Chains A and B, each alone.
Chain A
Amino acid sequence: MSEHRHQDPPSPMALRVKALETLLVERGVVDPEAVDAILDVYEHQVGPHNGARVVARAWTDPAFRERLREDATAAIGELGFLGMQGEHMVALENTERVHNVVVCTLCSCYPWSVLGLPPAWYKSHAYRSRVVMEPRAVLREFGLDVPEEVEVRVWDSTAELRYLVVPRRPAGTDHLDEEALAALVTRDSMVGTAVLPDVDGGTGT
């Protein structure tokens, strides 16, 4: 996770944060074990593998897919992936005609319970400012060229609804079971900045 190399002297920010944490621990405002616990949850337990399970289930189980459309929070709850920043979920299905992409222009709202913590680019000023106005140009920077005849829908997470994009199932995956399918699903495909390649090497769009 961290790029910090231990032979480097600590940066000024590292020293400040260490000083702040020491103060807050001494004061009883935070328990250092609680800090470790919250990091453990979001670095080792909750992550895009959760969302990938939801997507793979939706691809393989039409009744689940229907429940995901009707009440995504309840459907995702069946798999046990509810939690902070996932209290009110909506699933957005990509189709031949519609491509969905998610942003939070006002801060960094992101569906933690199914995707974990957002990648740095999702929180970047460039992504937040541009994807609502020129989504196709931004998606091209991700290597994704959405055909003109496909409608692009950008979802700006301005309240507490959290969005999970359900990418299209790649061609050539009919023989795969749910677990193998989940392994194909990437984080970016569930934010909408990628589509999944067909297993024979084409693209899923």
Chain B
Amino acid sequence: MNGIHDMGGAHGYGAVEPGDAEPFHDDWERRVFGITLAAGSHLRSNLDRGRYELEMLPPRDYLAGYFERWFARLIKAGVALGFIDAAARAAIERGQTPTAVPRDHEPLPAAALRHVARTGRPVSRTVERAAAFVVGDTVCARNMQPATHTRLPRYVRGKNGTIVAWHGAHVFPDSNAEHDDENPQHLYSVSFRATVLWGPDAPERDSVILDLFEPYLEAPP
């Protein structure tokens, strides 16, 4: 989706603040991070769906702040899944603990979470079909405007680049976010010259490299 999250090349966000270097600013941000990971499968989501949920927040909520955004997603998911009802939502908004809450889930134990954190969840998959492109090929990032989740940023659409690496097939975010369908696709690193992306004033020798799925790419026109 052409949402507020697709920020590459946007103006207006000011200077970077290298001194703003801690992962968290306040204790509540730590809890929001921990709660999101600890809720795990109870959020009925996946890695890609989780990102899509953030992208679908109203721009005002998205821009409110990083962990404000994560909090808004938790509330939205809790309401959609039925474990936050209208009364509980209103109480949370006032900062008051909801009352008379039934215990109807079983949480992920700490040991299981520690295990996942230290082992991860690889998204590489085996597919029968051969890769359409090889390293060195010139490709064009498709000019497409899906209204749903995609990992093809606007700033490369319609631009030519060069395949610099092939990574086998990985879970395809576009279908995994929308339909919980892994639909693995070949994945490539594609290098775009800065001048192609940003115009002749960009430094001639600089480049930007993106990891792009085969359905995002076509032979150049």
- What residues make up the interface of A, taking CB atoms closer than 8 Å to B? 1-4, 10-31, 33-39, 41-43, 46, 82-88, 90, 105-108, 113, 116-121, 123-133, 135-136, 138, 141-143, 148, 151-161, 188, 193
CA A109 to CA B30, docked complex, whole Å? 18
Q: Are B119 and A26 in contact (CB under 8 A)?
A: no
CA A55 to CA B217, docked complex, whole Å? 34
Q: Are B120 and A154 in contact (CB under 8 A)?
A: no
The range of chain B's interface size is 35 or more
CA A55 to CA B153, docked complex, whole Å? 31
Q: Is B109 positioned at the interface, with any CB of A under 8 Å from its CB?
A: yes
Within the complex, which residue of A16, A83, A113, A130 is in contact with B71, where a contact is CB–CB below 8 Å?
A16
Given A82-B120, A159-B187, A120 and B110 touching (CB < 8 A)?
A: no
Q: Is B88 positioned at the interface, with any CB of A under 8 Å from its CB?
A: yes
CA A37 to CA B74, docked complex, whole Å? 19
Q: Are A87 and B208 in contact (CB under 8 A)?
A: no
Top 7 closest pairs, chain A to chain B, by CB = A15-B95, A105-B8, A35-B34, A159-B211, A28-B105, A37-B110, A117-B23
For the complex formed, measure the closest distance between the CB of A111 and the CB atoms of chain B, giving whole angstroms: 11
Contacts of A154 in B (CB 8 A): 206-209
Contacts of A141 in B (CB 8 A): 15-16, 18
4 other contacts beyond A10-B95, A13-B26, A29-B83, with CB at 8 A cut-off?
A: A20-B74, A30-B42, A84-B116, A86-B120
Chain B residue at minimal CB-CB distance from A6: B27
Q: Are A36 and B17 in contact (CB under 8 A)?
A: no
Contacts of B37 in A (CB 8 A): 35, 38
CA A201 to CA B18, docked complex, whole Å? 22
Contacts of A138 in B (CB 8 A): 16
Q: Are A30 and B92 in contact (CB under 8 A)?
A: no
For the complex formed, measure the closest distance between the CB of A179 and the CB atoms of chain B, giving whole angstroms: 23
CA A194 to CA B71, docked complex, whole Å? 32
Within the complex, which residue of A38, A88, A120 is in contact with B38, where a contact is CB–CB below 8 Å?
A38
Q: Is B147 positioned at the interface, with any CB of A under 8 Å from its CB?
A: no
For the complex formed, measure the closest distance between the CB of A134 and the CB atoms of chain B, giving whole angstroms: 8
